[in-house]
Amino acid sequence: EAAVTQSPRNKVTVTGGNVTLSCRQTNSHNYMYWYRQDTGHGLRLIHYSYGAGNLQIGDVPDGYKATRTTQEDFFLLLELASPSQTSLYFCASSRDINTEVFFGKGTRLTVV
């Protein structure tokens, strides 16, 4: 099965802090995604990419930056973290847009 690895799995930071969430997939997938999951909101797309160096804006991008440095690696950056960004973050990948999306195990971020 396709592998998507996220790190760290848990993170606590202070308001105004700088946080980087990492994601690596070893499936040679083209598409990678960052979602946040919150009760009552489901999964919301933050940013996505369809190849190294490519970046597309998702539905809830405010306060987040992302970089796709290689085919395998996709990073989510919170440069001035706020309590509203406390959430469960999932990275995911897919071979193309009509194929299965494989999710990582998630990163629980708490901003205090």
Partner 1 sequence: GDSVTQTEGLVTLTKGLPVMLNCTYQTTYSPFLFWYVQHLNEAPKLLLKSSTDNKRTEHQGFYATLHKSSSSFHLQKSSVQLSDSALYFCALRTNAYKVIFGKGTHLHVLP
Residues that bind partner 1 (CB under 8 A): 31, 33, 35, 40-45, 48, 50, 56, 58-59, 90, 94, 97-98, 100-101, 103-106
Gap between the Cα atoms of 36 and 13, Å rounded:
17
CB of 60 to partner 1, least distance (A): 11
CB of 95 to partner 1, least distance (A): 12
Q: Which residues partner with 91 through β-bridges?
A: 34
**Cβ proximity to partner 1, 79 vs 100, nearer residue:** 100
Does residue 61 have a cis peptide bond before it, meaning omega lies within 30 degrees of 0? no
**Cβ proximity to partner 1, 44 vs 65, nearer residue:** 44
Gap between the Cα atoms of 5 and 30, Å rounded:
16
Which tokens in the block code for residue 23? Answer: 């994601």
CB of 68 to partner 1, least distance (A): 14
CB of 12 to partner 1, least distance (A): 19
Q: For residue 5, give the nearest of 29, 17, 22, 30 by alpha carbon.
A: 22
Which tokens in the block code for residue 108? Answer: 């629980």
**Cβ proximity to partner 1, 74 vs 104, nearer residue:** 104
